[in-house]
Amino acid sequence: MDVDALQGALRMLFLLDRAGVSPDEGSYAERVGAVAVISAERKLQALHFWMRNPDYLAYELLCCIENRELDGSWLDTAEQLLEGDEPELHRFPMLRHRFGAYEPIDDSFSYLVAAGLALCHRSGTPGQVQRTDLYLLQAGRDAAIGIIADHPEIEWYGERADTVAMVGKTLSGYAAKNRQYRLSEYAETQLGERIQPVADVVRAKIAEMRGSL
């Protein structure tokens, strides 16, 4: 059983559901039945990184608060992301690739496609794919809602995806990566090595921000 790919499929299902945007009227996506779209695979990669690394996600929340994109109440959310067993249990470190955190999403995404829950739309020519957009179908949204109803223990997928959506849904994939680079630990990670946790840095920053609020 390919545990990583299966969990990845779950994460993408929820990311598409919570962070995807409704397709434009009359667009190709609408025509093929998509209910939510994440344009460009790179953006999905970036959002997926936050999904897997709650400490980086918390840091991003702090940045948004500093930039006044989010209000101060989100500090609690950031803190909860670091509290208890959260970082230990729901952290899935990634390898760093040329363009930042990257793991092929194809294996995970193929579960969604084969099951008729999502679609993958590529543009360009074979071997020269310019762009890959990801579509969630109605069956996928139904499945996301249904699985949480049946299995409340995985509700955190939805909550995490909501938070990721808060910090990332307005960003392009490229911009999201840039933000991730800001964390020195992340940038300093050698190519092909596991990205290091930054929970301590984030805790310090939270304390600092609480002090200044």
Residue pair 166/43 in contact (Cβ under 8 Å)? The answer is no
Question: Which of 21, 95, 129, 154 forms a contact with other proteins (CB under 8 A)?
Answer: 154
For the bound state, the minimum distance from the C-beta of residue 16 to other proteins, rounded and expressed in Å, comes to: 14
What are the residues whose beta carbons fall under 8 Å from the beta carbon of 173, sequence distance 6 or more? 40, 41, 42, 43, 44, 45, 46
For the bound state, the minimum distance from the C-beta of residue 46 to other proteins, rounded and expressed in Å, comes to: 22
Q: How many residues bind other proteins (CB under 8 A)?
A: 28
Is 191 a binding residue for other proteins by CB under 8 A? The answer is no
Question: Which of 58, 119, 136, 161 forms a contact with other proteins (CB under 8 A)?
Answer: 119
| Burial class for 3, CB neighbours closer than 10 Å (0-12, 13-18, 19+) | exposed
> Among residues 120 and 201, whose Cβ is nearest to other proteins?
120
Is 147 a binding residue for other proteins by CB under 8 A? The answer is yes
Q: What is d(CA 175, CA 194) in angstroms, rounded to the nearest whole number?
A: 22
Is 6 a binding residue for other proteins by CB under 8 A? The answer is yes
Sole window of 61-69, 76-84, 118-126, 196-204 interacting with other proteins (rule: CB under 8 A): 118-126
Is 1 a binding residue for other proteins by CB under 8 A? The answer is yes
Sole window of 63-71, 82-90, 162-170, 197-205 interacting with other proteins (rule: CB under 8 A): 82-90
Conformational region of residue 86, where left means phi above 0, alpha means psi within -120 to 50, and beta covers everything else:
alpha
Residue pair 210/72 in contact (Cβ under 8 Å)? The answer is no
Angle, CA of 80, 81 and 85, to the nearest 5°: 90
Is 130 a binding residue for other proteins by CB under 8 A? The answer is no
Residue type, position 119, single letter: L
> Among residues 120 and 171, whose Cβ is nearest to other proteins?
120
User: For residue 169, how many other CB atoms are within 10 A of its CB?
Assistant: 15
Question: Which of 30, 121, 196, 203 forms a contact with other proteins (CB under 8 A)?
Answer: 121
Structure tokens at 23: 């397709």
Question: Which of 26, 67, 71, 85 forms a contact with other proteins (CB under 8 A)?
Answer: 85
> Among residues 156 and 172, whose Cβ is nearest to other proteins?
156
